Structure 1
Amino acid sequence: MRPSSRPLILDAAIRVTERDGITALTLESAAREAGVTKAGLMYHFPSREDLLFAIQKHLITRWEERLAELLGKPLAEATVRESTTAYTIEGAANTASKAELTFMLESTAQPALARQWDELMHRWAPLPERLEEPADVDLLLARMASDGMWLYEATSGAPLPAPLKAALVERITALTDPARPRA
């Protein structure tokens, strides 16, 4: 049995977006980049909207794989604090790709696409139901700081210097663990 060209097409569509922007992403450009015919692409993705939706799922699956690796155990066995720690480390330590940022922004105008990102964030770093303890506020602050670093690096055009980034990641991560001594 021949392997599916679906993942190859998704990766190719992401490359087109990285290189040329989302407006340049068409069924034709994705097929050309993937080395398949437009008909072959349309077998998997009958429309551009289907392709966009699948790319979102593909990017989210990549995030979840990295988060699961950081967590080191199944998400179902983790506490909210442990999963939020993995989320904050991933977000703060890794720079968003142009495609990740583009597709996340694109999703804001389309509820079905936005729901995918919202569900990822709710699974891994849910907003606290109540803020009774300082540690609850710290956990939320860590998530917000991590999201801010991710966005800053994705939009600034200049990465943070490595020592500064490491110090920020360390400080953000310290917020997720109330027993950890503060620097």
Structure 2
Amino acid sequence: MRTSKRTQILEAATRVVEREGVKSVTFDSVAAEAGLTKGGLLYHFASRDDLVQAIHQHLADEWEAQMVAAAGKPADLATPEERLTAYSRISSQSANRAELLLMLEGSTTPGLAAPWDAVMERWAPSLTTDDVDNQVALDRFIARLAADGLWLYESLNTEPLAPELRRALAERIAGALDHEGT
């Protein structure tokens, strides 16, 4: 199946972010990376802001698709443990600089955070004050923090962990979610 021009543009923009940062996303830089004209980009995105918002949504959608594949079902059909296990496993595989930079940018711009927040809410929700005495909820959140830490470690380090070590860590985090018999 051929990649759509819109997807081609978003993947090119992601490579620009990966290499040069979010501020380097311009119609000229993305057009050059995608092998298209600036007019070709303007056909799909009316402004740089529209393009950046679409990059956030595109990557959040890809991230969620990976979790659906890992869980074997969408979030609304998975148990909390299945969702967080998929989140933990995918977090250890998908670390890249572009996602980190975009998530950091999104953390200070509510409109850009929305796609990421929606995925997080479905797959690895935060704690509430009602959870303070809920050992299972606290353990789930600790597992989420560990998965987030592994993802951040992999995003920031120029020398990534060996794949077998990364897998072992992800499985250890996922294994911490098994509360059967507790």
TM-score normalised according to structure 1 size: 0.88
Change (3 A) 1:160 1:43: same
Unpaired runs of 5+ in structure 2? Answer: none
Deviations 1:62-111 (A, max 9, x none): 101100000102322111221111111111x2151111111111112211
2:124–2:144 CA contact under 8 A, matched in 1: yes
> What TM-score comes out, normalization by structure 2 length?
0.89
1:109 aligns with 2:143: no
Asked whether 1:63 is paired with 2:63, we answer yes
CA contact (8 A) 2:84 2:174 kept: no
Q: Which moved more, 1:162-171 or 1:45-54?
A: 162-171
Q: 1:70 to 1:4 in 2, by over 3 A?
A: closer
Residue 17 in structure 1 maps to residue 21 in structure 2: no
1:85 and 2:92 are equivalent in the alignment: no
Distance 2:140 2:23 in 1: 37
Count of residue correspondences: 179
1:34-88 deviation digits (Å, cap 9, x = unpaired)? 1221111011111111110000000011101100000102322111221111111
Which stretch of the first structure deviates more once superposed, 17-26 or 139-148?
17-26
Once residues 157 and 74 of structure 1 are traced to their aligned partners in structure 2, the CA distance between those partners, rounded to angstroms, is: 33
| Matches of 2:157 and 2:181, distance apart in 1 | 31
User: 1:37 and 1:98 mapped to 2: Cα distance?
Assistant: 26
Aligned CA RMSD, in angstroms, stands at 2.1
Q: Indicate whether 1:174 and 2:155 are aligned.
A: no
Structure 1 range deviating more: 154-163 or 33-42: 154-163
Runs of at least 4 residues off by over 6 Å = none
Aligned mates of 1:170, 1:3 — CA distance in 2: 33
User: Once the two structures are aligned, what percentage of the paired residues are identical?
Assistant: 45
CA distance in 2, matches of 1:120, 1:179: 26
Gaps of 5+ in 1: none
